[in-house]
Structure 1
Amino acid sequence: MGSAFLISGPKKFEFNVNITDNPLAFKAELIAIILVLLVCLKDANITIYVDAQAIINIFNQLKKESLQQISRGKRQYNAWWILSFKIIKFFNLTVLLVKVKAHDNSEYNNVVDKLAKEALNNDPVFIDPRLLMYKGNVCWNHNPIEKEVTIMIKHIRETQWIEEFFNLHRNDCWNNSEMLTEIDWSSTFRVLKGNTKLTNFSEHELNSFKVKIWTEELPTLDNLVKRKPHVYSSKWKYPMCLKDKETYTHLWKCEHLGQVNRNVKLADLEHQKGINAKMKKSANKSKLVANKLDKIVFHDMSPLTSR
């Protein structure tokens, strides 16, 4: 990824550099700011125009903190932020960041974008991690961790868990490129994780049940026969209909089970109506509450048919 800057005055100066170590747009903008600070004169007043509002927000927040407070922070690229404020303090600089619209067809913006693209053809620059060091750097595979350490460890463990999970023989059906690209994995794991703010047995059981549904590992007869063939017979039928074998697919398509689901929904509807009637009786003294209860609508479940 290319990183570039342009100094418009008092003397025009251009510079670009190729970054290959964890190249991200946020990091490229931050490194460009640091490079500008390095070439500034002492006691200078600087106005830097950037198109990343996130960098401006973090910079304005860190201006109010000491270097010691910044070093204790857990934000991404904290070592780079420490370096930038060390330079500001060492050269006694007064720095103001101003937001500009990205790709706004302005003269200087177009020049910097062109420099950043041209930097891709340059030799990559290597920055010695010792230059970023405040008290020490935590590394992974000899590379400095640029994000918050606990989050990095969490992501590493999650990646290892996913790799172990997909390497299981029962998950061979997921190990093909077409299937992996068709699934929205971020949404899938968000649903499987459920409420991440709670850690208890009920949440654990619910999440475990979701995974079993997703991987077709519910204790249906076809799965139980694989685990304990000496206990379960492959000739047994699904006990709800006694017609077909109990497989994962039949569990959701059985006509008898569809009727059971409709009966449960109708019973739940009647139960809700009974609760509503009791609430109306207890709310006779308050017309406001009674009027609100009258507006409750119950949907008729009777037309539902199984698929």
Structure 2
Amino acid sequence: MDIRPNCVLANQTNHLNIFHVHKCASREHKFFSTSMKQLRYKKYFVGTKPQLTLNHVAYNIFLQRAGISTSLVTPNTSILPINPISLNNPLQIIDASLICNDMIKSDLKIISTNFANYQNFHFYTDGSVKALGQQGCKSGFGWIQVSNDAPKLTFSGSTVFFPSSYKSESMALLTAIITLPYQGTAIISTDSANCIHTFNQRINTPVISPRRKLKQNNYLIWDLIFWIIHNMKLSISLQKVKAHSNDIYNDRADALANIGSFSDQPIIVNYRFFTQTSLGYIGWNNIYVVDRNVRKWADNPVQATIFNSLVNNTSLKPIHEFISNGSIDWSFTRLWIHHNPTESPTNNRLSIVKGTKIKKSNFIYPTADILQRNYPKLYPKGVIKCVECKRRDDTATHVCLCNSHIEDINRILCIHKTKLGALLMAQSNSFTFDLSDRINKSLFTCIEIDDTTSHSMIPRSLPGLLLLYNLIPTELTYLFYNYIGDKKTRESLFLKYTDDLIRDLNHVTWTKRLRSFKKWEKSLNITRKDKRYYRQRFRNRHNQDISDQQIITCTTTHSERNYSGVKYRLPYEKSLLTFNSSAHIRWTSSNFLHSGSWESHRDELQFNIIDSSFINDVWCSLGC
């Protein structure tokens, strides 16, 4: 039977479904300005979610309020424990829902037994994270019961995997709620606005789809919190307390959280406690569930894998020493390459700009050696010298080391050294007495090239030359990190400054070289049309001169091209340099274990935040 409405009725109601819209100054709002003017709409709103999603949410709320039962709606009561237990027995819930040492479970059971004959409680909870992102990261939590109508007891503990202050605060709420008796009432005071927002959002939303739950950080903890509230018939309210405000109870909870962070017996949620229809959990490295938005988190292993493949490419041999020593800030490099200097999100100019950045950063920009490889019939055989200095081979690496460019590069770096000092001086709130010395000792040192300098590798002592290839040296980002605290401001100023610096460097190097090279091509009657129709022109011609190419008689692979029935292997291919093919697993584990970015732990070989015995105990408890 189709229960969907066949018509739409509009009437005033006190029950509204609130949805968010973009600000009028946002790019999303301005995107529709032209079409809205054509339709003569003076005022319009652009939702942050698609219309189909809003329609679906509104329809589910209608079904919920109308009391219509349908299989499309998944109420909270569908979350049931996998093992049959008493739904109002906190002792059995503690046993089945938590994975931790038996002594910790015993402590929680004793507290729950002491609370059994009372109904009104008031908790102060707090969380603590130490050395976030480092191998010594500690995530602890604690709470204290302060109501005179119940025993004044305390508890503290620690947790692992994706540590954060939000997770620590959430675990403090969970361990307090799990000890409450059936139909108990509790006021929980916390200084975490994030926890209060999540709690109110889940309480006030009639229907939450599994898809939306799986996008929430620490969804296992919050699923268990609301399962306990629903099945134990609890009345819970959260109130905000200001952190470090000399509140005696909040300070005591903070001290308990600090004590808990030193515990070597962590507590985690047993994800097998729930039976979820058509839901699957994603695990990492056979350790534990990724209880957050998997789509966003998957960017960590994906980017680590891409980076591992990138550094094992022989085309990056000129900067191999910089990669090995961690002298390139890959996060800011990615930010710069993805930077859009145009007003439109997609256009031809943006494609050209990004394509040029990628080619230069991978040292595959069409210099003479690349063009000679791609168009052997157009360019003369043998080594093609630089058209400006006439001394070295014309390669991508030579552009930054060419003697005809060094003087201009030093002049540009000197100008922007002064600009950087003024920028950081104006933005910094800390001491800046040593700023000038730090800038002078960084990448802005004078560049000197002699005849003994190799032009196949970029010298390790000249990190400023990396900017010519759209690679951001750590010596530059170090200054921005130290003198600009706000992330949004730091990235905005960095992009503006880097845009000016690299544009000026390109003008005296790549652009200058391109003009000279075009004149040289013109002297050989090589035009853009010749390169554009090269494949079509020589496709059916037999290549007589193949002595400098390797003939392949086996089956064609991805790194081979076929011209005139003869197969040739490209003169470049991937080969292992330093990093092994599974290094991305180790890099991503740093994010899983202590929330560190994989870039910051690229050179770490061990992760000792937890011992292997706990991991084994986890999987033994899960029956794996």
Report the Cα distance in structure 2 between the residues aligned to 1:167 and 1:106, rounded to whole angstroms: 55
The match for 2:586 is none
In structure 1, stretches of 5+ residues that fail to align are 259-304
CA root-mean-square deviation: 3.5
Residue 124 of structure 1 is matched in structure 2 by: 266
Partner amino acid, structure 1, of 2:383: S
1:148 positional shift: 1.2
Could you tell me the TM-score, scaled by structure 2's length?
A: 0.36
- Superposition pairs of residues 110-121 of structure 1, within 5 angstroms: 110-119=251-260, 120-121=262-263
Amino acid aligned to 1:107 = I
Give 1:8's match in structure 2, choosing from 141, 146, 149. Answer: 146
SS at match of 2:200: helix
Following TM superposition, by how much is the alpha carbon of 1:177 offset from its aligned partner in structure 2, in angstroms? 3.5
Question: Equivalent residue for 1:49?
Answer: 189
Report deviation, 1:17.
1.4
Report how many residues are paired.
254
Cα 1:122–1:6 change in 2 (3 A) is farther
**Which of 268, 275, 296 is 1:151 aligned to?**
296
Q: Is the 8 A contact 1:79 1:132 kept in 2?
A: no
Contact kept in structure 1, 2:368 and 2:384, CA below 8 Å: no
Could you give the per-residue CA deviations for residues 217-238 of structure 1, whole angstroms, max 9, x where no partner exists?
3222355578889955435232
Q: 1:77, 1:40 → 2: CA distance?
A: 22
Counterpart of 1:248 in structure 2: which amino acid? V
How far the C-alpha of 1:30 sits from its partner, in A, is 0.8
Aligned to 2:486: none
Counterpart mapping for 1:245-260 below 5 A? 245=392, 246=394, 247-249=398-400, 254=405
C-alpha spacing 1:189/1:41, structure 2 compared with 1 (3 Å): same
Q: Secondary structure at the match of 2:189?
A: strand
For the residues of structure 2 that align with 1:104 and 1:114, how far apart are their CA atoms? 14
- What displacement does 1:112 show? 1.8
Q: CA deviation at 1:117?
A: 2.1
Relative to total residues, which structure has the larger helix share, 1 or 2? 1
Query: Does the CA contact (< 8 Å) of 2:158 and 2:267 recur in 1?
Result: yes
- Contact kept? 1:166, 1:174, Cα under 8 Å: no
How much does 1:12 deviate? Answer: 0.9
What TM-score does the superposition give when structure 1 sets the normalisation length? 0.69
SS class of match (1:218): coil
Q: 242, 246, 253: which is aligned to 1:101?
A: 242
Match of 1:103, SS state, is: coil
Other-structure match for 2:200: 60
Q: How many angstroms apart in 1 are the aligned matches of 2:356 and 2:362?
A: 10
1:80 aligns with 2:227: no
**2:287 equivalent to 1:138:** no
C-alpha contact 1:17 1:125 (8 A) present in aligned 2: yes
Match of 2:386 in 1: 237
CA distance in 2 between counterparts of 1:252 and 1:242 reads: 7
Instruction: Provide the C-alpha distance between the structure 2 equivalents of 1:17 and 1:209, rounded to a whole number of angstroms.
Output: 52
| Among 176, 193, 216, the residue aligned to 2:338 | 193
Contact conserved, 1:137 with 1:145, CA < 8 A, in 2?
no
Deviation at 1:198, TM superposition (A): 5.2
Deviation at 1:161, TM superposition (A): 0.8
Alignment of 1:282-297 (within 5 A): none
**Where does structure 2 lack aligned partners over 5 or more consecutive residues?**
1-138, 410-506, 510-624
Is the Cα–Cα contact under 8 Å of residues 41 and 91 in structure 1 kept in the other structure? yes
Counterparts of 2:367 and 2:154, CA distance in 1: 68
Secondary structure of the residue aligned to 1:105 is: coil
Once residues 233 and 348 of structure 2 are traced to their aligned partners in structure 1, the CA distance between those partners, rounded to angstroms, is 56
Q: How does 1:157-168 map to 2 (within 5 A)?
A: 157-168=302-313
SS in 2 for 1:179: coil
* TM-fit CA distance, 1:93: 2.0
The answer on whether the counterparts of 2:157 and 2:263 sit within 8 Å (CA) in structure 1 is: no
- The counterpart of 1:212, out of the listed 344, 349, 359, is 359
TM-aligned CA distance change 1:89 to 1:126, over 3 Å? closer
In the alignment, structure 1 residue 176 sits paired with structure 2 residue 324: yes
Deviation at 1:33, TM superposition (A): 0.7
**1:306–1:159 distance in 2 versus 1, CA, 3 Å:** closer
For the 8 Å contact 1:49–1:98, the answer to whether it is kept is yes
> For residues 238 and 402 of structure 2, what CA distance do their matches in structure 1 show?
61
Q: CA deviation at 1:29?
A: 0.8
1:29-80 CA distances to partner (integer Å, 9 max, x unpaired)? Answer: 11111111111233333221222212211221111224x5153312222232
Please give the alpha-carbon distance, in whole angstroms, between the structure 2 residues aligned to 1:242 and 1:217: 21
How many angstroms apart in 2 are the aligned matches of 1:101 and 1:231?
75
Letter of the 2:400 partner, please give it: T
C-alpha distance in 1 between matches for 2:221 and 2:190: 17
Question: Structure 1 segments of 4 or more deviating over 6 A?
Answer: 199-202, 225-230
- Cα offset for 1:189? 1.1
Q: Secondary structure at the match of 1:39?
A: coil
Q: Which amino acid aligns with 2:144?
A: L
Q: Structure 2: how far apart are the matches of 1:163 and 1:177?
A: 15
Decide which of 202, 207, 210 is 1:71's aligned counterpart.
Answer: 210
State the secondary structure of the residue aligned to 1:234.
Answer: coil
